């Protein structure tokens, strides 16, 4: 089987993996010509298998982006980072007028941490931003000094992962938004 330019194949030899990705025609011809006989011999003896990999599961992508965001936060002085686990178990939130179940903190945040000895609630998204209207509305209803960090982890398996951020803070003038570098 020949790896085409549009598909990714994994070639497995015992416990080692070689990932062939976006192979151009020149490399494909060299691969076929140089390793044709040994490759097909090992393939016939079931020592090499060729499979198309599955796309990364959304939960795995979430864990990876959470890891990237956590590393980014630790590099910038955030401390005692607490992630609320995403599980089937939901938590009860009780308000004056109603009660409801949620997975995240107030169905909005993935966790909380300290930054300059102040509590910061954070939300992490992969390849998108959290809804800024929702963030503004939540921060507006809180006391002065409340901070919310929105993190966007952009990238994919083939590209470099980058972390972007927006910090919302309630001040005397209202809600301000700034970027942390």
Place of tokens 């982890």: 153
The rounded distance, in Å, linking the Cα atoms of 84 and 30 is 50
Start-to-end CA distance of the chain, whole Å, equals 47
Angular region, 42: left φ>0, alpha ψ -120 to 50, beta rest: alpha
Output the pTM of the full model: 0.66
Which helix (H) or strand (E) segment is 101 a member of? strand 99-102
Q: Which residue has the higher pLDDT, 43 or 113?
A: 113
Beta bridge partners of 122: 111, 149
**What pairing do the DSSP bridges indicate for beta strands 79-83 and 9-13?**
unpaired
The tens digit of pLDDT for each residue in 57-80 reads 777 888 888 999 999 999 999 999
* Residues 157, 177 contacting (CB under 8 angstroms): no
Q: Which residue has the higher pLDDT, 174 or 33?
A: 174
In the prediction, which pLDDT does 8 show?
39
Domains and CATH numbers, the chain: 9-51 (no CATH), 58-178 (3.40.1350)
Cα atoms found within 13 Å of the Cα of residue 24, Cβ hemisphere only: 1
In the prediction, which pLDDT does 121 show?
95
Place of tokens 């990999």: 53
State residue 36 phi and psi, 5-degree precision. Answer: -60, -55
Whether pLDDT at 18 is above 60: no
* Residues 148, 141 contacting (CB under 8 angstroms): no
The tens digit of pLDDT for each residue in 75-119 reads 999 999 999 876 667 778 888 999 988 878 888 899 999 999 999
The tens digit of pLDDT for each residue in 123-159 reads 999 989 999 999 999 999 898 999 999 999 998 766 7
């Amino acid at each position: 089987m020949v790896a085409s330019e549009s598909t990714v194949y994994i070639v497995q030899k015992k416990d080692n993996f070689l990932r062939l990705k976006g192979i151009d025609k020149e490399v494909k011809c060299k691969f076929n010509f140089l390793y044709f006989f040994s490759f097909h011999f090992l393939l016939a003896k079931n020592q090499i298998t060729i499979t198309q990999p599955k796309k990364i599961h959304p939960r795995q992508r979430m864990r990876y982006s959470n890891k990237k965001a956590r590393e980014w936060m630790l590099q910038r002085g955030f401390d005692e980072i607490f992630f609320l686990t995403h599980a089937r178990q939901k938590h009860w939130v009780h308000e004056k007028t109603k009660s409801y179940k949620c997975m995240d903190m107030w169905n909005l945040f993935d966790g909380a941490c300290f930054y300059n000895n102040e509590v910061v609630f954070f939300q992490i998204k992969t390849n998108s931003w959290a809804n800024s209207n929702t963030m503004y509305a939540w921060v507006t209803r809180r006391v002065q000094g409340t901070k919310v960090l929105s993190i966007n982890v952009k990238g994919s398996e083939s590209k470099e992962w980058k972390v972007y951020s927006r910090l919302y803070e309630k001040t005397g003038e209202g809600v301000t938004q700034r970027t942390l570098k």
